[in-house]
Structure 1
Amino acid sequence: MNPAVAFTFNSPRVANSVGAIVPHLDRLLSNCASLADATAVLAVCFQLDLEPAEAGHRVRLSLELLAATALGMAVLFTYEQMIGPSPQVHALHLLLFIVYLGFAIIDFAQQTLRQSRTTRRRSVQLGLRLTAAGCAFALMYTAYKLTVLVTLGLNLHPVPDDTDCSSLITTPCLFGVTFPVLSILLLCIGLTLPAVAYPIAQAQRHRWETRSFDALGPLWQDLSAAMPTIVLPAARHDQNSAADDADFLLQRRVVEISDGILARRPYRSQKVLETVQRTTEAGTEEHAAIVEAAVVKAALAAMKAGRLADEVAGPSAEAASRKDLRGDTQWLLQVADAYAHRTARVTDDQTPVGA
C-alpha cells in the first residue's frame, strides 16, 4: 500500500464521490489503507532488524492482526449501515483502528530506537531518533482519539469537536491536529534524512580524500624516489575502477609513506630530533608534526649520503596513537605540510638550519 491511498480517500472530492455510493465508505477505506501502510512499514523494519525466522513470524502475526482488524471494522461498518448511525458501533469501529495503530506505532518506535543505538552513521542515528519522536506524537494522538471514542461510546461529550480550529496550540486542536501533523513531519524528515545526507557526506568524503591524496604528494615523491621499493604493486584485478577510487588511492599512499618512514629508521637522528624540539613550542600536534617532518627530511639526506645515525630516534608517539586510516591520514597531512613548508633544510651533519 502507499500512504497516498489513505490521503486520497480523505480528500473532499474522493470522499464525496465514494460517500455518494455508500455513506462513510471513504472512512472505512481510508482507515484500512492507513493500517496497511503501518503494517508494510513494520514488515520492512522486521526484515532489517530481526533474524529471518523471527522477522517472518512477526510479519505473519502483523498480517493476521491486520486482516482480523480490517474484517472487524468492515463488519461493524456494515452493521451500522443496516441499523443506522450508532455512537456505540462507531466507537467500536474506531477502537479497533486506534488499538491496532497504537500497537503498530509502539513496535515501530521500538525498532527505530533499537537501531539508533547500534548504527554508526550519524545521519541514520539522527533520522531514527526524529522518527521515534514522531512516533511519540503519534501515540499522544492515538491516546486522544481513544479518549474521544470512549466518551462517544458512553454517549458523553466532554471533549469538544476539533473540526474547526482557531488555534493549533489549544485543546483539542493541539491533540487532534497539531500532534498528528508534527508526527507526520518528523516521520518524513527522519526517514528521508539518511537518504539525503548520505550522498552529501560521500561527496564531502571524496573531496577530502582527493585533497589529502594531493597534499601528501610531495612527501610521498621524496620517499618513493629514495626507496622505490615502498611503492605497492598495482592491483591485478579491477585496475580501472581502483584508479578512480579516491579511498583506495589515499589508503595506498598512506601505507607507502608509513612504510617509507619506517624503512628509514636507521637514519633517524636523535640529535636532529632534540635540536628541533628545542627550537619549537612543545606540547601540540603541530609541534610533533614539525619535529617528525624535520627528522624525516634529515633521514632522507643521511640516506643519500650513506650515513647511519649515531643515535637512532624512535618512532613518533603521535603516529603510534592513530588507530585508523583517517587518523593516520590526518597525522601525515600535518607532517607533509610541515615537511613542505615549515621545516628547515638539513646540513651535512644532520643539523637543520634556517627557516
Structure 2
Amino acid sequence: MGDRLADAADYLACLITLVGTAAKALSDRGRRSDPALRYVYAAGLCLGLGLALTPPATFTAVSGLASGPWSWLGFGYLRLVGDELELVAVGFLAMVAYSIQPPDGVRGGVRAGLRRQVAITAGAFVLSAVAYAASGATQVGTLVVAHGRRRYVLVAYIGLLTVHLVWRLAVFGLLTGRSARRMPPGALRSGLRLMASGTVIGLFWIAGNINDVVDLLTTGGEVGAETAVSAVPALVCVVLMLAGATAPAWGGRLARWSRPLRARYAYRRLEPLWSALRATVPGVELLPDTVRVGRRTPHGAQFALYRRIIEIRDGQLALRPYVHPQVPSWVEEFDRSTGGARFRRRREVAATVEAAGIAAALEAAEAGHRYPAGPSTGYVPSEGQVGVDEEVAWLVKVADAFTTSPAVAEVRRRVREELDRVPG
C-alpha cells in the first residue's frame, strides 16, 4: 500500500511538473529571454525527470536490467541519477531567487551571486557523484546496499546531498520571501509567497534522508526509491511551487472572481471605524443611500466599499482640529512600556498611530474641545498608498487597530482624563 501511494504521488508530481513547466514556457512567449524564466524552466525539467526516476515502480522495473545483459548502461546508478537531477533542480531554484533581487540586494552584485550558485551546485554535483561511486553501492530491487565500511561513504553521500538541498531551498525561500515583502499586493507577490511556502514543505520532503542514514548504519542498506512518507510532501511541494510560478497567469482571473467577496469582507472590517465616525460626524454619510452591499450587482459591493472609504476620509478631515498633538508620542511611550515596539513593523505602528489619532479626535469632538497646536501635529495620514486596493488594505489595518489595539485604548483613556480636567 505504501509503495502504491509513493508511486502515485511521485508520478503525479512528475506529470504536474513537466506539464506545468511546458505550459508556462508556452505562456511566456516573448519573455523567454528573461534569465529568471530560463532558470525556472531548467529547474522544472530537472525536477520532473528526477521525480520520474524515484518511485518504487521505476526501481522495480529496472532492477532486472541492472543485473542482466544491459547492466553496462548503468541502471545500478538509478538512485544517483535521480538525486543529481534534484540537486541541479534546487540549484536552478537558488539562481531564480538571486536573479530577481535588486542589484544592491546581493553581496557583490547579482552576477557574482549567480556565479557562486553555479560553482556551489557544480561542486556538490561532482563530490556527490564521486562519493556514490566510491561507496560501491549496488541496487537490489528498491534497495541500495553498501558493504562493510563503504556504507559510511554512502552515509557521507546522503549527508552531502541533504546539506546541499536544505541550503539551496533555504536560500530560495528566504530570497523569494524578501522579494515578496517588497512588492505591492497582486498575483506576483502571491506567487512568490506560494513558492516560499513550497520550500518549507520541501524541507519535510528532504527529511526522509534521515531514515536512509539510520537504515544504512543499522543494516547496510537503504530504500533508494521514494517512500510514501517523503513522496506526499514532494507532491505538495511541487504543487505549491508550480502554482507560485504560474500565479501571474491565473492570479488575475482569480482576483476578478474573488473581488466582490473581498470587497464585502473589507466593508464589514471597516464597519466599527465608520460607525464611530458617523456617530460623531453624521455629515460624512453620502446621501441618498442607494447602494447596498447585499445587492446582486457585479460592482455593488465594490462601489459601496469605495464610498465607505471616502466617508471615512471625509470624517478624518472633519476631525483634524480635534486631534491631540501628543498622540504619536503617547503611542510610542505605550509601546516602550510594554515592549511591543520590538515586535511591530513600522507600518503597523503608523496604522496604530492613525487609529489612535481618530479615537482621540472623537473624544475631543464629543466634548467640543479643539487643540490650538493645529490639526496636522498629531495626525498621521496613510503612507504611500498609490491605488484603491492599497488604500483599502491600509484602512482595514487602521480599523483593526481602532477596535483591538491596547495602545489606542490607552490614548483614549488619557484624552478622557485630560478633558475631564479642562474647565467647563
Q: TM-score range by the shorter chain?
A: 0.3 to 0.5
Higher RCO structure, 1 or 2 (CA under 8 Å, sep 6+):
2
What TM-score, normalized to structure 1? Answer: 0.41
